[in-house]
Amino acid sequence: MAIKLRSGTRIAVNLGVDFDAHTVWEGSFGVSSPAYLSRGEFCAEVAAPRLLDLFQKNDIRTTWCTPTHTMETFPNSIDKILGGGHEIAAHGCRHEKIGGLDEDAERELLEKQLDLHTRYVGHRPRGYRSPSWDFSPHTLSLLEEYGFDWDSSLMGRDFEAYRPRPMHRSEDGPHVFGEPSPIIEIPVSWYLDDFPALEHVSRINPGLASTDVIYQRWKDHFDFAYEEIPNAVFALTVHPQTIGRASNFLMFRRLIDYMKSKDGVAFMTLSEICDAWQD
């Protein structure tokens, strides 16, 4: 049970974009000053077009995980992303902290996402990526109930798509897994995310790592998956406001050039990876 790639393809690469704009600051860090929000403005108005141009030059279509607040605040960006042939997936409303929500509040948020995706994208999202990759105990069953095909927030595998299982926690005995979900999970990793390594947040996250170090880390992960894992999935997560800064952008472009120099590398959207699943 895994994805089955086309003959001659060794690895599915998703260069996933989390198009958070203002929401990551308000939702995850609780800051809403004009200075922090200007980083979200840079995200939508400078970095997103820069990324779209890079993807277009390299004939790459990918998945933009987009909070609904970004759609409402920067609707022209959504048109450009769709015009570039990319997919838009659900990523919360205002980058909420999902892990602490009760079921009713999480359900309300999901329903709002389905409504606003239909309004701004033209249809419901097929996939979901939770803000900051956290799940509540209800998230998986809610995604099933609302008919999502895939999720990309969990870390139970590294380079293989899989079916996540609900876990029943016990305070005084073993934790017990339930039956595999119909949802296809395309796993993520903090190692393969630009934000913690590169984005500076005063007194919270130093960021500003050497791009040579990050290039080597991402290349090592890619090389391992390429060499060691049959039908591998390599899901990298970038944020326009982070990867769009000059030194980071040049490093990202160098990584794309490296991956394209290898045989059998397919750049795919997360829905295309989900569709390659075979039981």
The residues binding Zn ion (CB under 5 A) are: 18, 20
Q: Name residues whose C-beta falls within 8 Å of residue 216's C-beta, 6 or more positions apart in sequence.
A: none
Which one, 20 or 194, has the nearer CB to Zn ion? 20
Q: Cβ of residue 17: shortest distance to Zn ion, in angstroms? A: 10
Of the pair 29, 258, the CB lying nearest Zn ion is at 29
Distance of CA 171 to the CA centre of its chain: 32
DSSP of 66-94, one letter per residue?
A: E-HHHHHH-HHHHHHHHHTT-EEEE--SS
Shortest Å distance, C-beta 160 to Zn ion: 23
Shortest Cβ contact with Zn ion: which residue?
18
Least CB distance to Zn ion at residue 18 (A): 4
Pairing of strands 2-3, 184-185: unpaired
Taking a C-beta distance cutoff of 8 angstroms, is the pair 241, 201 a contact?
no
What is the CA angle 241-56-95, rounded to 5? 30
**Nearest approach, Cβ of residue 48 and Zn ion (Å):** 14
Question: In angstroms, what is the minimal distance from the CB of 24 to Zn ion?
Answer: 5
Whichever of 87 and 160 has its CB closer to Zn ion, that residue is 87
Q: How far is the CB of 23 from Zn ion (least distance, A)?
A: 7
Which residues lie across from 11 on neighbouring strands? 232, 265
Return the percent helix, strand and coil in the chain, to nearest 5. Answer: 45, 15, 40
b/e code 40-65 from CB counts within 10 Å (16+ = b): bbbbbeebbbebbebbeeeebebbbb
Judged by beta carbon, residue 18 or residue 26, the one nearer Zn ion is 18
14 or 232: CB nearest Zn ion:
14
**Least distance (Å) between residue 25 CB and Zn ion:** 11
Shortest gap between Cβ of 191 and Zn ion (angstroms)?
A: 17
d(CA 71, CA 67): 7
Amino acid code (one letter) for 75: P
Q: How far is CA 37 from CA 123, 206, 241, in A?
A: 28, 19, 11
> Which CB, 18 or 151, lies closer to Zn ion?
18
Nearer to Zn ion, 10 or 97 (CB): 97
Q: Which two tokens stand for residue 255?
A: 């990584």
- Tell me the C-alpha distance between 192 and 259, whole Å: 15
Nearer to Zn ion, 18 or 160 (CB): 18
